[in-house]
Structure 1
Amino acid sequence: MTAHAAGRYATALFELAKSSGAADAVEADLSAFRAMLDSSPELAGALASPLHAAEDKVSVLKALAEKAKFNELTLNTFGVAARNGRAGDLGKVASVYAALAAADRGVVTADVQTAAPLTKKQTEALAASLKGAFGREIEVRTDVRPELMGGLIVKVGSRMFDSSLRTKLDGMKTAMKEA
């Protein structure tokens, strides 16, 4: 249900932003907001927590948006989401919006999870490899997840490629239990 709500908010915001010529500005705002959430687990937790009143979340989001000089559409979306009990979904809204914007530009988004951060050269090589496989421009978004231990997980659309060490070890563990 949460993914559906995030999709509805992101789609509505994208359509409004595109019709008003602010799609790129809103995309930049949401990217900056995701960075804020990634760098502050406390903020993400507070927005998702039912212990904090909706109006408190609206105030926090408004202060953040004004300090970062976000577009008015972004600010309004934050307020509507918070008042409707969806402040904790704003990170997902940002992800869905980014995918919608990339699709509109004709670019396919690849979500890549790695155990350690990729260098710029590695990211470019991965993008080139994926472009060869899919025949389209690829925008690579990375997420560091140390629990993978090594390797990577790449998700492009509905296709997922998992070459993480964690998955391989889990597979070996299962095979050994069956033996």
Structure 2
Amino acid sequence: MLNLQLARKYSTAIFEIAQEEDKLVEYGRELADVRSGLATVPAATAFLSNPQVETKAKKELIQKLFEGELSANVYNFLMLLVDKRRIALFEAIEDSYRELSNEARGILIADVTTAAPVDEAQTSSIKAKLEKITGKQVELRLHEDKDIIGGVVVKIGDRRIDGSVAGRLESLRKELLANN
């Protein structure tokens, strides 16, 4: 819980800087690039998260990996995280930043689960319907789950829309059991 609170504080700080500079998207992209870059080298993530490794060595690694690749503020933010021994929270910070940025730009994230892969036309149709329902811009995160048999399950925040065959079968089962 404490780590999530710390992550939220740091993400709010970089978010406010990005907002002042009108660079929400750019900073978000840079933070996501850092995250994906570190994810491709698990040894680097382990090195940066290790409390026994000296701060100087961590800073040297950050410098080798990202100097010249990032804006000055994002680069300095990473260095600050190393100085404050908070670099291990980077994924949570990036997640929190993305949430703050999406909220500020009026974007909703919809987790869409289908039994089979969806093509571009289906994706566009789902996105358009969700944007019409919510009145906001929607970004889709597509998932596959064969257990839903068919149809689609959409989750936006704490709202869940279950249009799956498995969901309908479960509703029918409950209704039949309730009538006995």
Which deviates more from structure 2 when the two are superposed, residues 77-86 or residues 112-121? 112-121
TM-score with structure 1 setting the length: 0.69
Give the partner amino acid of 1:37.
L
- Who is 1:29 aligned against? 30
- Who is 1:127 aligned against? 127
Gap change, CA 1:155 and 1:28, over 3 Å in 2:
same
User: How far apart, CA to CA, are the structure 1 residues paired with 2:32 and 2:19?
Assistant: 16
Which deviates more from structure 2 when the two are superposed, residues 50-59 or residues 97-106? 50-59
Residue 51 of structure 2 aligns to a residue whose secondary structure is coil
- Who is 2:93 aligned against? 93
Gap change, CA 1:46 and 1:9, over 3 Å in 2:
same
User: How far apart, CA to CA, are the structure 2 residues paired with 1:57 and 1:137?
Assistant: 39
1:86 Cα deviation after fit = 0.9
- Who is 2:66 aligned against? 65
Is the CA contact 1:114–1:150 (under 8 Å) kept in the aligned structure 2? no
Greater Cα radius of gyration, structure 1 or 2: 2
- Who is 1:41 aligned against? 42
User: How far apart, CA to CA, are the structure 2 residues paired with 1:56 and 1:116?
Assistant: 46
Gap change, CA 1:117 and 1:21, over 3 Å in 2:
same
1:116 Cα deviation after fit = 9.6
- List alignment gaps of at least 5 residues for structure 1: 164-179
User: How far apart, CA to CA, are the structure 2 residues paired with 1:39 and 1:140?
Assistant: 24
Give the partner amino acid of 1:6.
A
- Who is 1:50 aligned against? 51
Residue 109 of structure 1 aligns to a residue whose secondary structure is strand
- Who is 2:83 aligned against? 83
Give the partner amino acid of 1:89.
L
Aligned residues: 160
1:154 Cα deviation after fit = 6.1
TM-score with structure 2 setting the length: 0.68
Q: Provide Cα deviations, 1:50-101, integer angstroms capped at 9, x if missing partner.
A: 232223222222332215x201110111111111111111122112112211
CA RMSD across the alignment: 3.4
- List alignment gaps of at least 5 residues for structure 2: 164-180
